[in-house]
Structure 1
Amino acid sequence: MSIHIGPGVRRRVILAGGAAVGVSAIGAIPAFAAAGYEIKSNPFTLGVASGDPDWRGVVLWTRLAPDPLAEDGKGGMPDRSVSVSWEIAADSRFRRVVRRGSVDATPAWGHSVHIEADGLAPGHEYWYRFKTGTWVSPAGRTRTAPPRGSMPKSLDMAFVSCSQYEHGYFTAYRRMAEDHPDIVLHLGDYQYEYKKDTYTIPGGNIRDHEGPETETLANYRQRHAQYKTDPDLQVAHAAAPWVVVFDDHELDNNWADEIPEHPEIPQPNFLERRKAAFRAYYENMPLRRTSVPQGIDMQIYRRLNWGRLATFHMLDTRQFRDDQACGDGYQDCPAADDPARSITGGEQEAWLLDGLNRSSARWDVLGQQVFFGQRDNTDGPVKKTSMDGWDGYTASRRRITEGWIEAGVRNPVVLTGDVHSHWASDLKLDYDDPTGETVGSELVCSSITSGGDGADSNPADHPMMRLNPHLRFFNGQRGYVRTRITPGELKADFRVVPMVSATGSAAHTKATFVIEDGVAGPQQTYLRPLSTDVRATGEPPSTDGFYGDGADDL
C-alpha cells in the first residue's frame, strides 16, 4: 500500500489493514495537543469529500476551519501545522477499519488535507472520516473504480454545474445525494466570484455572498468556505466521490487563458488573481497531487476509467483557449471559423484525440464546461451563435468530432454545464445539413441554483428547437442529470426541483432519454406533462437567459 499526501501536508504515521505502524490513530491524542494548542470549536465546518477514484484508491479531503467565514481566509486557524488523523472503513459504523493514518495540515495550503489512499479493493464501497483533538468529522461514503479490464454491469453517475449561492438553496444537491450515485461529475461554476448584489435575479437574491468580489487568496478561500458550509452541498460531497473541473466563475466571468472578462479595463493583477483562484480551488477540492497548481497553471484535464464500461475524458475549456471572438454573446462572427483558433489548446487537443484512439471503453464520455453542439438563435441565412461555447471555435469542434469518427469511438457522449438549463442534442459533423449523419450525443445539465427558480416549459415552444433540428430537449428548471450506464445503453433522467427560492422541494424527472449502444443520438422515452404550479407568478420564462449563458450575459 502507498499513501500520497498533498502539498504542505506531512505524513506522520501510516496504519495498514488495522495494524498500527505508529501510535497516532482515531481515538489517540494527536501530537500537537502536547505542544499546548487546542482547537476550541468544531474545525470540520466545511465537511468532507472524496474524489478521482481509480481501481486502487481514492482521494480523501477535508479542510480545518472553526471560523469558516473569517475575512483573512484562514478559517480561524493558527499560523502553525495541526495534526489530523484519518481512517477508512468497510462499514458505515467503522467496525472494520482497513486504513488509518495521521498527517499535518499546514497553513500554507489553508489547513486542507488531501489523502491519496491506495491499496483499497477495486469496485468496493468505503466510509471515511477525520479527527483532530477531540473533534471528529462527519463520515463520508466513497468507492473505488472496478478492476481494470472488467465490464461492470452498471454505473450510476450524476452530473451537475452552476451553483450560485445567492440565487437559491442547494436543494438539488441533496436530492442528488438521495439517489446514491456511484460517482458525481461537477462541470464547473462551483462557486461565483461576485460581491453581494452584483449578480441579481428578479425579485432579489435569496442569500448573500460574504466579502468583496474575489480577487485575493483570502477572498477565494472565504468564498469557497461559504459555499462549503451549505448543508445540502456537504451531504452531496459525503455521498459519493466527485470528479471536478472548473469553468469561468471559479476565477472571473468569461475569462480566457490570461485574458480577463474586460481586457479593455487595465487589470495588472489578473495573473495574480488567477494564481490565487487556482490555489484556493485545489485547497477546497478532492484532487490528486497531479493537479497541484504551479503558479498560474493548473493541470485539470485528466482521464478516469470505470473498467471497460466507461472512460471519462475531463476537459479544460478555459485555461488554454483563444479569447472569445467578436465578444462573448451571440454573434454573426466569421472569426469563429478560423482554423487557427482553439478552445482546448493544441496540447490538450492532441491528448484527447490520442485517448480516443487508444480507448477500448464501451462509452467515451467528455466531461466539459460549455455547449458543444451548434445553437443558432436567428432565422434566415445569418447565423448567430454563442462565442463563449464551442460555436465560437468551430474548427476546434470539427477536429475533435472528426477525431472520434476516425478513431471508431463506439459511443461518444459529451456532458455539458454552463447554460443554466437542461438540453439533449444530436451531434453532427455538419450542423447546416439537418439530414446529415448523427455522430454523437450531448447531454446538458441545468444549474443547481444559478438564475433563480426558473420555470417549467414545453420543449417544443422554445425557438431554438425549431431553428436547430438536432436539439431534442429543453427545460428551464433547476436540477441535475442522473444517469445509469450499462453495456447496452446510457439512460439519462433530467431531474428538476420546482423552486430554489425555498428549501425542501422534492425532485422529479422531467424527461428521460436513452442512448443505445452503437446508436448515436439521445432518444426520448419519457416526458412529464407541463406543470402549472412551478412559479408563483405563473409567467412563462423569459427567453433572454436561454439564448445566452446566464451570468455570462451580465
Structure 2
Amino acid sequence: MKINVSESFHEKTAGIRTAESDGRTAAEKVPRFTAYPFTLGVSSGEPLPDSVVLWTRLAPEPLNGGGMPPEDVMVRWEVARDPDFREVVKQGEEAAKREYAHSVHVEVEGLEPDTVYYYRFHAGYETSQTGRTKTLPLQTSAVDRLVFAFVSCQHFEEGYYTAYRRLAEEDLDFVLHLGDAIYEYGPGTSSKCVRLHKGAETLTLEDYRTRHAQYLYDADYRLARSLFPWIVTWDDHDVENNYAGLIPEKDQSPDRFILRRASAYQAYYEHMPLRRSSMPRGGDMQMYRKVTCGDLAEFHILDTRQYRDDQANQDGNKPPSFESTDPSRSILGHEQKKWLYDGLRRSQSTWNVLAQQVFFSQVDHQAGETKVLPMDGWDGYSAERNELVEFLQKQHIANPIVLTGDVHTNWVFDIKSDFDNPNSTTVGAEFAGTSVTSGGDRANTIKDPDILYMENPHLKFFNDQRGYVRCTVTKQYWRSDYRLLDYVSKPGGPISTVASFICENGRPGVRRVSDTM
C-alpha cells in the first residue's frame, strides 16, 4: 500500500543528512532518517478547555521495526490559529523516546476554550502533515450544542476504512473510540478477509507495534485521526479476544500472559493521543477518566477489561446462573466503581454518559422461557449492572446515556429498572454502535431478528451494517444518527443515515425520528 508523503523529503534532501560531531547529545543532533519519518500521520486527543495532547510517531520504516536510530530524537511542534501557521500561539520541543517507539505525546497547555487549532511537527529537515484539533468549552460555561461520533472494532483484514473517510467529512467536536483499535490475530484467519495482517498473532511488544503501525498505514484512518481530537478507550482485541483482567482467553502461562498484556498496553499508549497519566506503569495502565463538556454533557470513559472478574459459565452466550448473578463479581473493579459513583453523584450536567465497551442492557438470544445471555457483557455481571441502574434511579442522575462498542452491530435499548419486566421504569438509553469493518459486508442478516424484539421488548432497533454513530446533543434532546455503509469489501462507497433516535431531556427512553428532523 503506497503512502502519500510530503514531497519535501525527496525534493529538499539528496540522501541522508547527518550532523557532525559537535558535542551535542544524540537527541540534539539533526537526526538521520532513511525515509520520510511521519508515515503514521498525526493525531490529537484528550481535549480540555485549555489543553490538548498532540501525537505522532517517527517511523520511516513503520512495518520494519520503525527504522529509527537507537537513540532519542528531538521533535519540534507548533500550534496555530490558522492552517498556514501565520499565527503560531504555542511551540516547543519534545523528545521522541526510543523506549516508546519514538512516539511523541505533547501536552499543550494555555489554549483558549472551545477553539479550533492547527498543529504540526518537525524532525530534522522534515515536516509532518498538518492536523486540526479543538479544545472543549469551560466546565462552567453554558453549552448549547455538541456533535461527536463514536466508533469501534476496525479489523484490518475484514474491510476497508471507508467509514473513516466519511467520518472525515463530518463537522465534529471530537471522536470517541470505544475499543478494538487493532486485532491480534495472525494473517488470513477471517473468512471475510480482503487484505492481510503482517506477521503472526501478536504476542510481543514488537508484534503489537507493527500491528498498530499497519492499521495507521491506512490513509482513511490517518485522515480521520488528523482532523478531530480523539478520546479513546480499549477493549479485548487490543490485547487478546475476551481476556479478563489477568486471565487470557486461550491457554497461556500466567507469566506469559502478564507479559503479553503489558506489551499490548505499552504499544496502545505509544500509538494513541493519551496523556502521561495513562502511561503504563508496572504492567497496568490508567484508562478510566472523565470528560466534561461545559454544563451540557459529562462522559465517564470506562475500562471494562482491565479489572473484571473472569467471564461466567466459560463465556459465550449462556443461560444465567448463580455465577453470572453473583453480587461479588465485578466488571469494573472496586476502585473504578467507586470513582464512577462519586463522579455521577457530583455531576451537574444535563446528560450523563457512560462510554464503554460491552452490552449494558440485557440481551436474550433465545425464544422461550429460558434466557440465553452474553456472558462477556454486563449480563455476565448482572448484579453489578442492576446495582448501577438502581443507583442511577435513586440518585436521580440526569439523563443517563450508555454508549457501547464491541458487538459489530447496531442496537438501541431502553434501560429498564427491571429488564425482566417490560412495564418497569425506564431509567435511560443505550446506543450500541456497529464496527468500522469487523464482520465484513452485512445487512440485516441475523437469523430470526423477530426473536430479538420478542424476547427483548426494551430493544428499539437492530441493524448489521458497518459505519459509525453520530450524536448531536443539546439541552432539549440527544440525537443518535446511525450512519451506515452498504459495503466495506472494497474501497469507497456512500454512507447514509439509516435510522435516527432521540432522547428528550427529562423523559428517559428513546423514540425513532425522521432523518429530516
CA distance in 2 between partners of 1:173 and 1:526 (Å):
25
Question: 1:523 deviation in Å?
Answer: 0.8
**Aligned residue in 1 for 2:41:** 47
**Aligned residue in 2 for 1:446:** 434
Contact 2:82 2:117 in 1 (8 A): yes
CA distance in 1 between partners of 2:138 and 2:29 (Å):
44
CA distance in 2 between partners of 1:384 and 1:458 (Å):
16
* Secondary structure at 2:339 match in 1: helix
Among 379, 383, 396, which residue is 1:395 paired with?
Answer: 383
CA distance in 2 between partners of 1:138 and 1:329 (Å):
44
Is residue 128 of structure 1 aligned with residue 122 of structure 2? no
**Aligned residue in 2 for 1:94:** 85
Question: 1:462 deviation in Å?
Answer: 4.0
Among 321, 328, 331, which residue is 2:308 paired with?
Answer: 321
Among 448, 451, 468, which residue is 1:463 paired with?
Answer: 451
**Aligned residue in 2 for 1:433:** 421
Question: 1:458 deviation in Å?
Answer: 10
* Secondary structure at 1:464 match in 2: helix
Is residue 62 of structure 1 aligned with residue 62 of structure 2? no
Question: 1:406 deviation in Å?
Answer: 2.0
Contact 2:27 2:73 in 1 (8 A): no
Aligned AA for 2:299? Answer: F
Aligned AA for 2:410? Answer: H
Query: Compared with structure 1, are the counterparts of its residues 236 and 434 closer, same or farther at alpha carbon in structure 2 (3 Å cutoff)?
Result: same
* Secondary structure at 1:158 match in 2: strand
Give the 5 Å matches for 1:324-339.
Answer: 324-334=311-321, 335-339=323-327
CA distance in 2 between partners of 1:390 and 1:508 (Å):
31
* Secondary structure at 1:356 match in 2: helix
* Secondary structure at 2:193 match in 1: coil
Contact 1:459 1:475 in 2 (8 A): no
**Aligned residue in 1 for 2:71:** 80
Aligned AA for 1:276? Answer: S
Question: 1:104 deviation in Å?
Answer: 1.7
CA distance in 1 between partners of 2:36 and 2:391 (Å):
51
Is residue 404 of structure 1 aligned with residue 392 of structure 2? yes
**Aligned residue in 1 for 2:242:** 254
> Which string of whole-angstrom CA distances, capped at 9 and with x for unpartnered residues, describes residues 372-398 of structure 1?
000011222211100000000001101
Is residue 152 of structure 1 aligned with residue 143 of structure 2? yes
Contact 1:180 1:240 in 2 (8 A): no
Give the 5 Å matches for 1:359-438.
Answer: 359-438=347-426
Query: Compared with structure 1, are the counterparts of its residues 102 and 480 closer, same or farther at alpha carbon in structure 2 (3 Å cutoff)?
Result: same
Among 479, 482, 498, which residue is 1:491 paired with?
Answer: 479
* Secondary structure at 1:249 match in 2: helix
**Aligned residue in 2 for 1:285:** 272
* Secondary structure at 1:505 match in 2: coil
**Aligned residue in 2 for 1:342:** 330
CA distance in 1 between partners of 2:440 and 2:162 (Å):
12
Identical pairs, percent: 49
Provide the alpha-carbon RMSD of the alignment.
1.7
**Aligned residue in 1 for 2:13:** none
Is residue 107 of structure 1 aligned with residue 95 of structure 2? no
Contact 2:355 2:403 in 1 (8 A): yes
Query: Compared with structure 1, are the counterparts of its residues 504 and 36 closer, same or farther at alpha carbon in structure 2 (3 Å cutoff)?
Result: closer
The number of residues matched between the two structures is 492
**Aligned residue in 2 for 1:539:** none
Among 131, 134, 144, which residue is 1:140 paired with?
Answer: 131
CA distance in 1 between partners of 2:471 and 2:85 (Å):
30
Q: Could you state the TM-score of these two structures normalised by the residue count of structure 1?
A: 0.86
Query: Compared with structure 1, are the counterparts of its residues 188 and 159 closer, same or farther at alpha carbon in structure 2 (3 Å cutoff)?
Result: same
* Secondary structure at 1:221 match in 2: helix
Question: 1:134 deviation in Å?
Answer: 1.7
Aligned AA for 2:336? Answer: Q
**Aligned residue in 2 for 1:116:** 107
Contact 2:466 2:484 in 1 (8 A): yes
**Aligned residue in 2 for 1:506:** 494
CA distance in 2 between partners of 1:504 and 1:31 (Å):
47
Uncovered stretches (5+) of structure 2, i.e. residues with no partner: 1-23
> Which string of whole-angstrom CA distances, capped at 9 and with x for unpartnered residues, describes residues 154-177 of structure 1?
011100000000001000011112
Contact 2:34 2:67 in 1 (8 A): no
CA distance in 1 between partners of 2:134 and 2:409 (Å):
30
* Secondary structure at 2:385 match in 1: helix
Question: 1:456 deviation in Å?
Answer: 4.2
Contact 1:52 1:243 in 2 (8 A): yes
Contact 1:349 1:400 in 2 (8 A): no
**Aligned residue in 2 for 1:310:** 297
Aligned AA for 1:39? Answer: F
CA distance in 1 between partners of 2:401 and 2:460 (Å):
15
**Aligned residue in 1 for 2:9:** none
Contact 1:313 1:352 in 2 (8 A): yes
* Secondary structure at 1:496 match in 2: strand
Contact 1:180 1:239 in 2 (8 A): no
Question: 1:152 deviation in Å?
Answer: 1.1
**Aligned residue in 2 for 1:168:** 159
